[in-house]
Every structure is written in C-alpha cells, then in structure tokens.
Amino acid sequence: MSSLLLKNVRAVDIGMDTVCDIMIENSHIKKIDTNVECEAGKVIDCTGLTAVPALFDMHVHLRDPGYTYKEDIITGTRAALAGGFTAVACMPNTNPPVDNVETVNYICTKSKNTGVKVYPVGCITVGMEGQKLCDYSLLKKAGIAAVSDDGRPVENSELMEQAMINAFNKGLPVISHCEDLAIINGGKINKGKISQMLDVPGMDRASEDSITQREILLAEKTNTRIHIAHVSTEGSVDLIRNAKARGVNVTCETAPHYFMMTDEKLITRDADYRMNPPLREESDRLAIIDGICDGTIDCIVTDHAPHSPEEKEDFLSAPNGIVGLETSLAATLTGLYHTGKLQLEGIVRLMSVKPREILGLKPEKLKEGARANITVVDTEYEWVVVPEKFRSKAKNTAFKGMALKGKPVITISNGEIKFKEI
C-alpha cells in the first residue's frame, strides 16, 4: 500500500482554509486532520506551503499531431505538471485537425500515462474550414470535451448558430475564437498609439467585440450557451457582464498576459510579445482585472501556444502565440494575490473549479475520499523566469526575465508525485 503524508500544509479549497496534515493512500485522500501519523510511506514537511485542488487549463495547444517540432503531448504535459496542472483541454488546430475519431484516439492514447488528463477539443467545422459542421455525436463518444475552431472564427453566423444548437443538444460547450477577419485585415498588434509608432498594421478591438456580441446574441436567441475564449478588451468584458446580468448562458476566460502586460511591450519589436488576441492598452488591462474580481471572467487559462525559435525570429512574419503553462499560476499569484485583489480561494475557483465546471467535469476537492490530485504551492517563493529551464519544448514566453512571486513545488496526480521542486 503506497502512502504519502503532507505535514503542516495550509489547505485551501472552496469554503476551506486551514493548516492540517493530508494523508494519501492508493490514489485517494484518506485523511485530513492534525497530527496524522504515517507508519510506512513518504512524509513531506509542508510548513509554509499551500495545498490546493490540482489546476486545470482548459485552453492549451499541444501541437500534436502534426507540429511536434514546436511541442508534443509528452513535453506539453511535462510543462503542465511543472505548472501545477493535472488536466488540460487541448485545442484542435493540429494536423490533421481534431475533426475525426482517429485523431481523438491518438491524443487520448499518447497522453494516457503522462500524469496529465488530456481532454481533446473537437473542431466545430470539418477541417476548421467553416463550411460544414463536424459529427459531434461521434467525436463526443470518442472523448472530446468541447468544440472550437480556435485560431479562427466561424465566419458564417447561420452555421455558428446551428453549431451552438447541435453542440448544446449533445451536451458539448462551444468555445469561440472571437475575431472578425475583415476588421483585422492583416493586423499584427493592437491598433493604437504603439502600432502607429511602429508603423505596424493594427488589430482593432472592434474585431473581438463584434464577434463576442454576435455569439452572445446567438446564445440568447437559441437559449443555448457559449464560452468566449481569451478575452482581451474592455468592450468584451462589458458585453459579457451585461449578458450575464440578463441571464444569457455565457462564460469566458482570459490569460495572465492580458492582466499583467500592455502593448507597450511591443516597442522592443520582439515577437515573443505577439499573440492573438494581442496585448492591449492599460484601460483594457484594468478592465480584465475588474472582470476577474467581479466574476464576469470565469477562469484563467494560458492559451499555451508553442513555436520554434526560428519561427519567432522575425517580428512581422512570426506566428502569433506564447507558452504559458509554467508561468500561469506564478503570474496569477504575482498579479492578483500578492496585490490583494484576490484571495487564494478565488484563484482556486478560477484555475481549478470553474474550468472543470464549464466542461461538465467533476471538480477536484481537498476532502477525504476524493482523488488525490493536488498542487502544492510556495506562495512566497521569488524567482526570475528563465525560458531555457522550461520543460516545454518551446521557449517563446512573454514573461522571460520577469520576477514572479509564487510557484508550484509539488504536483500530485492520482496520488503520485509527478513534479517536485523543493
């Protein structure tokens, strides 16, 4: 019988904040109490550390199959464990895309023994071409958790409406990449004073806001639901807040770079600060924080988007995207917890509870009898981001060289320590 005892750990969950011992046996939490004894097994003194239900990132790109020079399921899940995640949902813009049962099976099989539960997201449309809907029944039976054409919008509103109805009837969330391609028109960074200064084509906020509004109206009209990916603008936050107030079934996410940075980072003409949607302005950054704090924004994701160093060399021609699995919790602690904007329970809700809830999955809990999926965090640990130390195959991070406070130090997946750095 394998056993593990976390001694003197601060346990934080929804409605729970206490210092205790956590005994783990055979993949489950056997006991939570004080002065627990462990006759045989591993004992870790966690004085000064915090245990939370294991994190879940519902928006990552593992690039596998098809683009494994950027990342693959093995390296991506190692990065996830180092970031405190025992589960992720991976987006379907692979090669081939996740519009068929074989690709779903490939992802599920390859990720099976990694310690990270990988939930494939299926395509909304065949080949992500925006012409014909996928067979959601087949894909759900194979194991998808949601549908999305992430990386592209579904441009045809009538087709998107039918997708939302079909997916809702199958119990599948629809995750929308909100971008009007006609408005974007080749834009590279946020449209504003920085794009003007650099003489670089800009990406107008109206592109995101207009499709956010369309998706809300479609969900309202059809009495279905929609999840808005990677919210970055003040306008989209306001639209979602107002929609929720009138009862529309809309949820949304954002990523740490949107509440930690602005487009002033682009002055350096470094493609590691280019992503889609782009870094916006200070008013947008503050609106994202307000949306997180008042519950408009449901969860924090990474939109982990690996690229090779060669691809990121040229500022204008580089593909959009940054990696984020190994910095997400640290950035959130730095930007929201240590600034007094959120308590740890709020971070648990944003990074563990709500993502699972949105996808219809059972939450992880710190309670006796629950599966032992636990992230142990040193909230006071100060460190500087060195991309060369990442477990990810890719190093394209916007947080490079940044000083952060807080870090996962142990990740426990089904009772086994899969990452340890103390």
- Per-residue model confidence (pLDDT) at position 1: 52
Q: Which of 99, 209, 284, 303 is catalytic?
A: 303
Q: Is 16 helix (H, G, I), strand (E, B) or coil?
A: strand
Q: For residues 216-253, b (16+ Cβ closer than 10 Å) or e, as one string? A: bbbbbeeebbbbbbbbbbbbbbbbbbebbeeebbbbbb
- Average pLDDT in the 331-340 region? 98
393-to-96, 200, 399 alpha-carbon distances in Å: 20, 30, 16
Q: Are the CB atoms for 332 and 282 separated by under 8 Å? A: no
Question: Which pLDDT band holds residue 166 (cuts at 50, 70, 90)?
Answer: very high
Rounded to whole angstroms, how far apart are CA atoms 299 and 43? 33
The 10s digit of each residue's pLDDT in 84-135 is: 999 999 999 999 999 999 999 999 999 999 999 999 999 999 999 999 999 9
Would residue 303 show up in a list of annotated catalytic residues for this protein? Answer: yes
Averaged pLDDT, 47-51: 98
**Backbone phi and psi for residue 119, each to the nearest 5 degrees, phi listed first:** -105, 110
pLDDT tens by residue, 178-187: 999 999 999 9
Are 412 and 4 within 8 A, CB to CB? yes
Kindly state the DSSP code that residue 264 receives in the 8-state scheme.
G
Report which of 306, 313, 403, 295 is spatially closest to residue 350, judged by C-alpha positions: 295
Give backbone dihedrals phi and psi of 62, rounded to 5 degrees, phi first: -95, -10
| Distance separating alpha carbons of residues 144 and 380, to the nearest angstrom | 37
Tell me: pLDDT of 168 over 60.
yes
Residue 39 confidence (pLDDT) above 80? no
Tell me the pLDDT band of 38, cut-offs 50, 70 and 90: confident
- Amino acid letter for position 10: R
- Provide the residue ranges of all domains of the chain, joining segments of one domain with +: 3-51+369-378+403-420, 55-358
Confidence of residue 195 (pLDDT cuts 50, 70, 90): very high
66 forms beta bridges with none
Dihedral sign computed on CA atoms, order 77, 78, 83, 84:
positive
**Residue 28's CB: how many other CB atoms inside 10 A?**
15
Distance of CA 153 to the CA centre of its chain: 19
> By C-alpha distance, which of 150, 155, 84, 92 is closest to 115?
84
pLDDT tens digits, 356-401: 999 999 999 999 999 999 999 999 999 999 999 999 999 999 999 9
pLDDT at 20 over 70: yes
Amino acid at site 347: I
Q: What is the DSSP letter of 406?
A: E
Q: Residues 175, 98, 162, CA angle at the centre, nearest 5°?
A: 45
The model's confidence at residue 41, banded by pLDDT at 50, 70 and 90, is confident
Give me the torsion for CA of 235, 239, 242, 243, rounded to 10°.
-170
3-class secondary-structure state, position 240 = helix
- Residue 60 CA to residue 78 CA, distance in Å, equals 13
The continuous run of DSSP H or E covering 217 comes out as helix 205-222
The stretch 321-348 carries a mean pLDDT of: 98
Portion of the chain with pLDDT greater than 90, in percent: 98
Its pTM surpasses 0.95 = yes
pLDDT of residue 422: 87
Helices and strands (H and E) in the chain: how many:
13, 18
| Contact assessment for residue 63 and residue 94, using Cβ atoms and an 8 Å cutoff | yes
3-51+369-378+403-420 adopts what CATH topology? Urease, subunit C; domain 1 (2.30.40)
- 217's tokens: 């109206």
To the nearest whole number, what is the mean pLDDT of the chain? 97
Apex CA 6: angle with CA 12 and CA 54, to 5°? 45
Mean pLDDT on 285-290: 98
Positive or negative: CA dihedral 301, 307, 313, 319: negative
**Which segments of 261-305 does DSSP mark as H helices, in order?**
282-293
Contact criterion met (CB below 8 Å) for 353 and 301: no
Architecture of domain 55-358: Alpha-Beta Barrel (3.20)
How many angstroms separate the first and last alpha carbons of the chain? 25
Q: Above 80 in pLDDT, residue 35? A: yes
* C-alpha span between 240 and 255 (Å, rounded): 16
284, pLDDT greater than 80: yes
Would you say residue 253 has pLDDT above 70?
A: yes
